[in-house]
């Protein structure tokens, strides 16, 4: 599971490596995008301009090649007319016709700049001028020529680059071969118009002769080329499907191919170049950008390291001061910062001052607590003294046969025992009612049959927690104020639980409350009810009910209503039982 680096590693390391990584990625992304876009732009520009160039060259080449074909057609017709007469005349006439045919063919060669020579294959035994551009060869030799298969099944065809014998030695040429037919449509002669490869290459090659360009026929067969022929053959094979279009470009691996067809689609000029050579300048620029990027990244690293060091310096000072802090030993932190660090330092100083104050206050409080504990130990003797004293008075009342006094002392002792035997603020309903019954039995001795009371507890409310001595103030007020001057007193106590609330209802038949009884000053009493209200508010806030109201109807008197939530009493409050005194200790 990946961990949050801001929660695990040092802030200086996260800041340094995070900033460095983001900047490195951004610079690398910019270089990569720039290089790719530049390469694409180079490819588009190169394709466009080379296609334009090849289109121009194709037009120029097409004009020359069509001129050769038209010249060959005219020459073939002239040759056919003279050749027919050559078969009928006498020896003188035949000699004259041979000379005329040779002169006409010479005129054709001299009149067509691109032509190098004409080879005429026939069965007639022409005499050949070795110094002239026209050579007459026997018809039987045609089948021995390496290009014979190309012309065998067609009337005319361009022959791929081949070598012929000339006065100056072997010469590389490309040729246009045209068959000559008689009136009976019988093939009897073959005329081959030769073009020097060097002259033809001037049409298609670049000025520095560094390009790889080739001329393809309609069948995508390489007729001639400049540069690497094998590369152009591979290009023709790779572009077999693509060259159905008039022109276009394609990059395959390290090779970039461009082609353009002639207007009549009979020839195709193709060019192949090395993509690495074309983009050498771009790659040089990219290397320069890489060097600049690496330098920038290094400078960014140094700058980030410096910033992170300066950024973390005040943090480290604050951490060191916190680690070395001890009570009474103040560690000085810088006071010349006015930014967020200054606020941190000021907060740290105020915090340490507050800690010192609290520590001093705790020392005083601890001293007071020790004194209170000693006083508490001394006061633990007081309940024993009260119990023992009441016990002695009770025995004296018994010996004097004062039974009512004895009973009243017994109830008073019980009330004190229950009130002082548990210092907790909460007791069970059962314990609270035991204390209340002691007080009622005490009053019963005085009122005798004139007092009647009942206590009703519903369900399992006996064990619910209740604030200590919460019932006695209401009952005591009833005897002091409500029952004063009355001949008979009645009191009912009802306690029940409803969901998460405990409800207490105390009803008496005493005198009604005055309208302004809450604000009316009293000579005595009233403190108990106020104490109950303060304790309920301390325990439950505003989430409690304490009301006293006059009863209406036939049953006159006063009723007190108390309710509070049980779920707001914590387990700690329920579980404390710090007995001051009981039978065991």
pLDDT, tens digit, 9 for 90 and up, residues 258-272: 888 777 667 788 888
Long-range pairs, 30-34, Cβ under 8 A, ≥24: 30/293, 31/286, 31/289, 31/290, 31/293, 34/286, 34/289
Confirm if 172 and 163 have CB atoms less than 8 A apart.
Answer: yes
Structural domain range at position 211: 12-215
Token pair for 232:
């152009």
Q: How confident is the model at residue 497 (pLDDT cuts 50, 70, 90)?
A: very high
Distance CA 484, CA 507 (A): 16
CATH number of residue 126's parent domain = 3.30.450.20
Confirm if 159 and 173 have CB atoms less than 8 A apart.
Answer: no
Which of 215, 233, 262 is the endpoint of a domain? 215
In this prediction, residue 209 carries a pLDDT of 59
pLDDT (mean) for 321-334: 75
96 closest CA partner among 107, 106, 85: 85
Helix 403-420 and helix 381-399: axis angle, to 10°?
A: 170
pLDDT above 90 (res 524): no
pLDDT above 60 (res 573): no
In this prediction, residue 177 carries a pLDDT of 93
In this prediction, residue 521 carries a pLDDT of 52
Mean pLDDT of the chain: 78
In this prediction, residue 518 carries a pLDDT of 65
Among 261-265, 528-532, 575-579, the range of highest mean pLDDT = 528-532
pLDDT above 80 (res 111): yes
Does residue 323 lie within any of the structural domains?
Answer: no
In this prediction, residue 371 carries a pLDDT of 67
pLDDT above 70 (res 372): no
Does residue 16 lie within any of the structural domains?
Answer: yes
Which of 182, 215, 248 is the endpoint of a domain? 215
Q: How confident is the model at residue 493 (pLDDT cuts 50, 70, 90)?
A: very high
pLDDT (mean) for 84-109: 84
In this prediction, residue 561 carries a pLDDT of 93
Tell me the per-residue pLDDT of 398-456, one tens digit each, with 9 for 90 and over.
Answer: 767 677 777 777 777 666 666 665 555 688 999 889 888 888 888 888 888 898 999 99
> How do beta strands 489-498 and 451-457 pair?
parallel
In this prediction, residue 23 carries a pLDDT of 78
Q: How confident is the model at residue 578 (pLDDT cuts 50, 70, 90)?
A: very low
Q: How confident is the model at residue 41 (pLDDT cuts 50, 70, 90)?
A: confident
Does residue 102 lie within any of the structural domains?
Answer: yes
Q: How confident is the model at residue 572 (pLDDT cuts 50, 70, 90)?
A: very low
pLDDT (mean) for 225-241: 79
pLDDT (mean) for 176-194: 89
User: Distances from the Cα of 181 to the Cαs of 28, 316, 567, in angstroms?
Assistant: 72, 106, 124
pLDDT above 70 (res 377): no
pLDDT (mean) for 507-532: 72
Q: How confident is the model at residue 391 (pLDDT cuts 50, 70, 90)?
A: low
In this prediction, residue 420 carries a pLDDT of 61
pLDDT (mean) for 517-521: 61
pLDDT (mean) for 480-494: 88
CATH number of residue 445's parent domain = 3.30.565.10
Does residue 132 lie within any of the structural domains?
Answer: yes
Distance CA 203, CA 201 (A): 5
Does residue 44 lie within any of the structural domains?
Answer: yes
Does residue 292 lie within any of the structural domains?
Answer: no
Long-range pairs, 102-106, Cβ under 8 A, ≥24: 102/126, 102/129, 102/132, 102/134, 104/75, 104/78, 104/79, 105/75, 105/79, 105/133, 105/134, 106/132, 106/133, 106/134
In this prediction, residue 504 carries a pLDDT of 95
Does residue 52 lie within any of the structural domains?
Answer: yes
pLDDT (mean) for 80-96: 81
pLDDT (mean) for 463-484: 86
Residue 262: count of CB within 10 angstroms of its CB: 20
Does residue 42 lie within any of the structural domains?
Answer: yes
Domain count, the chain: 2
In this prediction, residue 210 carries a pLDDT of 65
pLDDT above 60 (res 376): no
- H or E stretch at 267: none
Q: Beta-strand (E) ranges in 113-254?
A: 115-122, 134-138, 156-166, 169-181, 187-196, 212-216, 222-226, 247-252
Tell me the per-residue pLDDT of 126-177, one tens digit each, with 9 for 90 and over.
Answer: 877 777 888 888 988 888 888 888 888 888 888 888 888 887 788 888 889 9
Which of 215, 233, 264 is the endpoint of a domain? 215
> How do beta strands 426-428 and 465-467 pair?
antiparallel
Token pair for 320:
């060191």
């Amino acid at each position: 599971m990946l961990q949050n680096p801001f929660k695990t590693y040092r802030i200086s390391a996260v800041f340094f490596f995070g900033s460095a990584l983001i900047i490195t990625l951004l610079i690398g992304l910019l270089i990569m995008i720039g290089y790719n876009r530049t390469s694409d732009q180079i490819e588009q520009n190169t394709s466009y301009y080379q296609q334009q160039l090849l289109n121009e060259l194709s037009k120029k080449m097409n004009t020359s090649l069509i001129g050769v074909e038209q010249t060959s057609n005219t020459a073939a017709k002239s040759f056919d007319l003279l050749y027919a007469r050559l078969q009928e005349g006498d020896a003188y006439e035949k000699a004259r016709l041979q000379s005329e045919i040779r002169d006409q063919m010479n005129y054709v060669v001299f009149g067509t700049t691109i032509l190098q020579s004409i080879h005429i294959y026939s069965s007639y035994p022409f005499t050949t001028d070795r110094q002239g551009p026209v050579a007459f060869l026997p018809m039987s030799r045609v089948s021995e020529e390496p290009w014979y298969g190309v012309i065998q099944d067609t009337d005319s065809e361009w022959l791929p680059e081949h070598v012929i014998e000339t006065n100056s030695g072997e010469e590389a040429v490309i040729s246009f071969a045209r068959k000559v037919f008689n009136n009976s449509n019988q093939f009897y002669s073959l005329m081959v118009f030769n073009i020097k490869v060097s002259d033809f290459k001037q049409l298609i090659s670049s000025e520095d002769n560094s390009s790889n360009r080739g001329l393809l026929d309609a069948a995508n067969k390489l007729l001639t080329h400049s540069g690497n022929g094998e590369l152009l053959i591979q290009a023709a094979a790779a572009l077999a499907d693509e060259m159905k279009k008039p022109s276009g470009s394609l990059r395959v691996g390290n090779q970039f191919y461009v082609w353009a067809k002639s207007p009549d689609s009979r020839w195709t000029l193709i060019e192949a170049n090395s993509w690495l050579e074309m983009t050498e300048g771009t790659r040089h620029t990219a290397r320069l950008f890489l060097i600049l990027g690496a330098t920038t990244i290094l400078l960014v690293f140094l700058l980030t390291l410096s910033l992170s060091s300066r950024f973390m310096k005040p943090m480290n000072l604050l951490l060191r001061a916190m680690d070395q802090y001890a009570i009474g030993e103040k560690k000085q932190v810088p006071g010349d910062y006015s930014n967020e660090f200054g606020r941190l330092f000021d907060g740290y100083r105020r915090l340490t001052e507050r800690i010192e104050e609290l520590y001093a206050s705790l020392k005083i409080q601890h001293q007071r607590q020790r004194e209170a504990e000693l006083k508490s130990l001394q006061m633990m003797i007081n309940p024993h003294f009260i119990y023992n004293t009441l016990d002695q008075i009770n025995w004296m009342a018994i010996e004097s046969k004062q039974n009512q006094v004895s009973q009243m002392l017994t109830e008073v002792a019980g009330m004190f025992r229950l009130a002082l035997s548990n210092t907790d603020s909460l007791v069970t309903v059962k314990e609270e009612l035991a204390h209340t019954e002691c007080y009622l039995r005490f009053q019963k001795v005085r009122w005798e049959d004139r007092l009647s009371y009942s206590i009703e507890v519903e369900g399992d409310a006996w064990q619910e927690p209740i604030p200590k001595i919460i019932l006695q103030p209401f009952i005591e007020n009833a005897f002091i104020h409500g029952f004063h001057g009355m001949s008979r007193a009645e009191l009912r106590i009802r306690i029940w639980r409803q969901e998460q609330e405990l409800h207490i209802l105390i009803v008496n038949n005493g005198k009604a409350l005055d309208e302004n009884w809450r604000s009316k000053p009293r000579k005595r009493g009233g403190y108990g009810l106020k104490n109950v209200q303060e304790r309920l508010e301390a325990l439950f806030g505003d989430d409690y009910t304490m009301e006293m109201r006059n009863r209406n109807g036939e049953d006159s008197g006063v009723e007190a209503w108390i309710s509070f939530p049980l779920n707001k009493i914590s387990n700690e409050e329920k579980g404390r039982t710090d007995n001051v005194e009981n039978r065991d200790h």
